Structure 1
Amino acid sequence: MTAAALFRSFASFGRSRWFGALLILAVLVAAGVAGYASSERYGMHLLREEGRHRLDLLAAAVDAEVSRVTHIPGILALNADVLELLRTRHSAGSPQQEVVNRYLERLSAQHVDSLAVFVMDTRGRVVASSDWILTDNLLGADFSHRSYFQAAIGGAPYRQYAVDGVRDEPGYFFAQPIRDERQDWKIVGVAVLKASIRAVERQWLTNDAPALIADDNGVVLLSAPPEWRYATLRPLSGEQVSELVRRQFEGRQLGTMSLGIDAAAAEAGIVVNFSGRPAESLGPPSRGSDYLVMSRNLPGTAWHLLVLSSVRPVRSQALAHGALAAAASATLILCLLYLRQRRRVLQARLKVQAALEAANRELEGKVAARTADLTRTVETLEAEVVERLRAEQTLRAAQEELVQAGKLAVLGQLATGITHELNQPLGAVRTLAANAIEFMHRGDAGTAERNLRIVCDLTDQMGGIIRPLKTFARKSPAVPSRVDVAQAVGSALFLLDQSLRQAGVVVDNRCVAGEHFSWCDHNRLQQVLINLIGNAADAMNDRSERRLEIAAAERPDGGIALAVADTGCGLPEAVLDRLFEPFFTTKAAGEGLGLGLAISRDIVRSFGGDLIAENREGGGARFVIVLPAAAEQGEEETVRS
């Protein structure tokens, strides 16, 4: 396949994947939109049914509250005292007026929600009232301009929500014409009941959802929230507002707030978005939200009862259902894609299985051919391993012999000093022994005994000189133990004491017994120290100041640093790089083989430490033996047990 064809195949594959992804996205969006629309439609249907149910309940409650006192004006029209007062037109404060006033007072007291019961003459003036005992009573008030008086004086009963100008208190007015049978049923006055609407308001204010009653002019009479009272459903002109205030709402401000509700359209249910002051009255959580408004005409009145239901829960639930529909569609698509991919995987697995079987057959043939080669190779490797083990054993033995040779070489260097140390006690032993024989011949046993005791002490002294040499020269494998570093330094200095004094070397041993303990072999550590101290003494042969410093310190990692420093010529940089190479030496020909430092480093590394060479500040060289620290005595015994 050419490069162009390969590129076209990749481009076609990429386009198909993009097309599939866009198609899946479109399906998910469509499912979400359909789920949202269906849920919203069903939710709005339930919200309308709930609104109609609330309208039924509120309409029944309002009608029962209103109808409960509608018969009272009819009772007044039949009362003889009331007719007598209207026929004779008694003056204010007359006995007949007082009789009627007390009757009206008793009648009003029987109905808790009635604010006032009063009688008007044909001129619209109040001639008797149940609130006569109050200072702000209605007696003498002129209500001729009110609609309920004008309708009743014309012969028709009338109901009106209004605010009287005397007590400045709203109420629902029931007006009934009073006819006199003596005057051929002529209208001689009007009986009016002013009912309280507080019970209805209290019932509405306990509801969670807003509701209101508006009259035929679109003025809100009762409302929850109460801030909507005296608002208008639709904007009114200034002339309309002025006329309504004069005839019905004396002392009240109308038209300052418009709710923007079409009461006729709301009978089927409409969605209204409240903003501005109406939204603020609903409270911050509902500000700017949409409400479903349902309305109904109250029977027997021109009033409109309206209930409002927030559509936010419906739309929230619709969003949830839309998301659920999209998720369900996504799950279905994923299942289909999974089944499709699973089928592809099974097909590919069958192909791979067939290919593997063919490859296994071919591989088995190759394995059989290679097995013989591998067998021969393994045999060769086994022979090489045996030979290598033999070589390692030979090398280890050679290293042991080399260590022992190093010890013997050191003993050869120490022979002169040891001979001198032994000559003096040997001469004294010979003299004292001869003297003891002579004293015994003389019979002086006490003096002979004292000479022999001195001989014993000198013998012990000679044994003390020879014992470290025997221990040092013994050929034995390394056995690590808890070694006092100061003791090992003391043993090495003891062996080199004579040679150091002859060379004029001043020894500054700062190691304190019992202060630092290391886990190593005492004999081999002593050998390393003898080698380093001997090299330091040789390095200071041509120096006026010959000072040897030995000190031990604890390292940050817990190990022991044992330093041997001299005041010699120091170590050049070129020498430092090759110092531990076998057969490399800075001494003259015939004075050394160049194996001492190499052997010493191998010995220290066998302990788990290291040997470091560096130049000393102020001149000279310093060799630092890094040793592992030993555990405490109790811990060591625990480990051994």
Structure 2
Amino acid sequence: MDETPADTAPPPGPSLAGWPALRRLLLTLAILCVVVGCGWAGFTVAERQGIATLRQESNHRLDLFSSAVEGVINRLEHVPATIQLNQDVLQLLRHPRNTGQRRVTSDYLRRLNAHLGSMSVFVLDDRGIVLASSNVDVPDDSRVGEDLSFRPYFLEALSGRVGRHFAIGVHGNEPGYFVSHPIRDGARVVGVATIKIGLHAIDKTWEMLSSQAVLADTNQVVIMSSQPEWRYTSLADLTLDRRVDLQLSRLYNNRRIDRFPLVVQLSVDEDSQVIEGVLPVGQPHHHRARNPEMLVLGRSLDGMDWRLMTFTDLRPTRRQAAVYGFMSAVAAAFVVLLALYLAQHRRILRQRHQAKRMLEEVNAALEQKVASRTQDLTDANDRLRKEVVERERAELTLRNAQGELVHTAKMAILGQLATGITHELTQPLGAIRTLSGNASEFLKRGDLNSLSGNLGIIARMADQMGNIIQPLKGFARKSLPVAVTTDIAHAVGNALFLYGPRMRKEEVDVDNRCVAGQLTAFCDPNRLEQVLINLVGNAIDAMGGGPPRTLTLQASALPDGVPPPHLPAAACPTGWVRVDVLDTGTGFAGGTADHLFEPFFTTKANGQGLGLGLVISRDIVREFHGEIEAADRPEGGARFTLYLPTGPVDPDHAA
């Protein structure tokens, strides 16, 4: 019987099961179109209304600001026409070399300038030379004798017209608006009267515009702006001929005129002189940033060659329009969703019932899994407790072993010192034996005075032997380390005392610079003595080759706030102390210094050391949160340095 293989079966036909999903997709798209359409319509209407309102408010502020600027300028621009009425001015132009007449005219101009409140008033002859000035007494801005024939306002007045120009002073470097008027003697122009009007009052009125604004002259150069970085920039690209003209006229006093940072394309109504445009988003400028879209409005000031323009950010208006659009979209979405809610209420209830049943099943499975995981966690906690107990036992065993090792090292050192100590005790014992025999004879003879002297000597000998034995008793005592305030000089003295016989025998000179009661460390005194004894013994061994044999011990306090190497300063608030053990031996050959603190490393001959002394010493010092270092001395020999805290150490900052 033939069968058709599964992989060669014909493809199934179109299924009707996909139609409900397609209907849902189409319904969703229709709802989105309605919501987006309502939102876009609301945004568009609100944007148009907002821009219209913004344009109206900006035009009103422009009118007010234009009136203020025109008032500042127009108040004084008629003054040059009246100067020629003064006979002193005409007399000066007729006799320009008359020094007295020049002084009289300058005094008149000075009084006139003070009365008007302008920046300066001056008179030029027909060659452009300043003959009299209101600022004649100002050293840097007198203008008298200055040649201003290159100024456009002079050329226009000389030709019989009224000159009006913005310019920056040549010497004072102060910007101002210059108004010039021809001075006629009969029908001939014999001079020019000029007034410089200050613009400081305009700088104080930018706030009334509530937006960024500029004033541009006839050269389309920004001469004033609410943004200081926009000043003296050109709204349009200047041609080469125009740049040459500006250089010759020095209107901007040789300032470099850069391109205005925003690319402005405006439309100007020639009848109303209204300037309007929209600055698009993302126009490049010299900082290569992105600019917000702006509404640009402007005015041409009456009777002047200036244009006033404001740049108003449209982002707040668009944000407000976006809010209206969003509210429109939300309202449309609410209506649609309300209809969908009523249509799907039954389906939601059915799905809720089904979800509840599934949740109960999931909860049951979860409870079973939690119970299993809880048991695993309990077992893990039990194992962890056992490991903690084992670790504590191991740590206790390690501490006991370390204590035994420290005590063994003490006994080894005492064994090495036994011969010298025995010699130190032999002499007092022999003297005591001889003196006691003499005391018996003196007693038999009844010589009590001699008997008393011998007994006194015996008592001193006993005290001397006690002084020898007492450090050994304290050093050999087996006890737990307890950190207390320890006099460093006392610990150094005990260490040197134990090695006294050996050092005298081997002719080792001792330079002990530690002064009793001067410096203290916070550590166990017995353990500190052991470290010093180990270091002193190593130093004596290193100097066995021959003279000079000099052992130096010194202690010093580190400056406040200066931590020891590899230790934080905050670990010990009271500070740190440094103890140096210096010898004149052979030092550390090769890489010996890098292995000094490794267990069982020693430079001594076989049978003279196990290589554990420095390891134990480092562990003892670190137990008190200190540090030990070794290095070669430049003058020869070795240096061991201990860094110890002078007070309790903060565990949170300890290394």
Normalised to the residue count of structure 1, the TM-score between the two structures is: 0.49
Larger Rg: 1
| Structure (1/2) with the larger helix percentage | 1
Normalised to the residue count of structure 2, the TM-score between the two structures is: 0.48
